[in-house]
Amino acid sequence: MIVYLVVSIPASWIIDTYGIRAGVGTGVILTGIFGMLRGLVSDSYSLLLMAQIGIAVGQPFLLNSITKVAARWFPVSERATASGLGTLAMYLGILAGISLTPFLANGHGISGMLFIYGIISLSAAVVFFIFAKERPLTAPCHPDQEERALAVDGMKLLFRNRDFLWLMVVFFVGLGVFNSVTTWIENILSPRGFSAEQAGITGGLMIVGGILGALIMPLMSDHYRKRIPFIIIALAGATAGLAGITYATSYGLLLFSAAAFGFFLLSSGPIGFQYGAEATYPVSEGTSNGFLLLMGQISGIAFIFGMDSFKSPSTGSMTTPLFVMIVLMLISLVFSLRLRESAFLSNAGK
């Protein structure tokens, strides 16, 4: 997350200036090379750390490109769904990593596990350069719906857009809450008597809920050609789920709350990314996407350290910082009520 703060804006500029193959290609090359290197140098902490930083440098080139790819390859009526599928791929990758890593580490050791992931990363890079194309033969939309201001000019427009400023607040809170809850899930639950295995299942269920949410909610948003109602519903549902995670003493209620939290909060991401791209037109998708993710990385770092600092010194309970985050989620819900549907989406439907 720290590396993302430094690399996000340059990554968005490269994506916007040189296109998808150059931007995403940079990310997959860094991930592939340093992913393989990580498997080869796992006995040296210094070299392992360098490899991990190299992978982290590649991450913004991948994350910031999702709405750019959706805009380049899909009509406006399908872009939230396309962004949802791109986001879904990330959730599936997280779930695969959580599920497979213990088995690979037990069977092949840490070095073997990292080496296998390195092979997968390098293979993915090769596949990308073989099959990925910059743009379709036939544009999916009118030319006036595709041309965008590049990163430098776009940044000036972003901070003059009231709706995007509210949206940045929503992403600051939402992504920060998700990053901190998933980081501390075992510490959150253990003071209430839940085991490490139960905490692991709870965290995995958040991701599973997010996968379902990323499939369903963006599809509905495109179908009804609305963004704001689904952002509001997602924030309300995620806040209720967070309250359940904070206070549930029943394991069944905890699992239901975790699934709801993941379903609603993670489904709001692709819809929010697409809304940000539409509300800030003609700012490039890579720029708007990058700034929203940047907000989440900043808050993720702050919230993770904040939860650790304000937990109960005697019991380790994190109920107090979780209550603060529930309040922040409610505030972001109020802010979302001030958002307006973009004129770009309305005009595109004519």
Tens of pLDDT, residue by residue, the chain (350 residues): 889 889 988 998 898 888 889 999 999 999 999 999 998 998 899 999 999 999 999 999 998 888 888 888 888 788 888 888 888 888 888 888 877 888 898 899 989 999 999 999 999 999 999 998 988 887 666 555 554 555 556 667 778 888 999 999 999 999 999 999 998 999 999 999 999 889 888 988 999 999 899 889 999 998 888 999 999 999 999 999 999 999 999 999 999 999 999 999 988 888 998 898 888 887 777 778 888 888 988 999 999 999 999 999 888 899 999 999 999 999 999 999 999 887 766 565 55
Q: From 286, 279, 281, 294, select the one nearest 336 (Cα to Cα).
A: 279
pLDDT of residue 143: 55
3-state secondary structure of 85: helix
Q: Report CA dihedral (69, 23, 272, 189) to the nearest 10 degrees.
A: 120
Please report the pLDDT score of residue 240 as a whole number.
97
DSSP 283: B
Q: Determine, yes or no, domain membership for 274.
A: yes
- CB-count exposure of residue 261 (10 Å: 0-12, 13-18, 19+): buried
CATH of the domain at 39: 1.20.1250.20
CA distance 216 to 233: 13
Q: Is residue 344 part of a domain?
A: no
The confidence score (pLDDT) of residue 150 equals 55
Does residue 139 belong to any structural domain of this protein? no
d(CA 29, CA 297): 23
Distances (CA, A) of 188 to 237, 242, 317: 20, 12, 7
Would you say residue 72 lies in a domain? Answer: yes
Question: Is residue 265 in a domain?
Answer: yes
Cβ distance 177 to 326 under 8 Å? no
Q: Supply the pLDDT for residue 130.
A: 93
Non-local CB neighbours of 340 within 8 Å, separated by 6+ positions = 163, 228, 279
From the list 199, 192, 173, the residue with the least C-alpha distance to 272 is: 173
The tokens describing 310, both together, are: 């304000």
Classify residue 343: in a domain, yes or no: no
pLDDT at res. 259 = 96
Per-residue b or e along 313-343, where b marks 16 or more CB atoms closer than 10 Å to that residue's CB:
eeeebbeebbeebbebbbebbebbeebebbe
Question: Which CA distances in Å does 145 have to 56, 71, 105?
Answer: 32, 9, 48
d(CA 268, CA 83): 11
Tokens in use for 245? 């995670």
Count of beta carbons in the 10 Å neighbourhood of residue 45: 9
The contacts found for 9-12 with CB under 8 angstroms, 24 or more apart, are 9/151, 9/155, 9/290, 9/294, 11/60, 11/61, 11/64, 11/286, 11/290, 12/60, 12/64, 12/151, 12/284, 12/286, 12/287, 12/289, 12/290, 12/291
Of 310, 318, 92, nearest in space to 186 by CA: 318
Q: Does a structural domain hold residue 154?
A: yes
Question: What pLDDT is stored for residue 347 in this prediction?
Answer: 60
Q: By residue range, what is the domain housing residue 248?
A: 2-131+145-337
Total domains in the fold of the chain: 1
The answer to whether position 59 is within a domain reads yes
Phi, psi of 227 (to 5 degrees): -115, -45
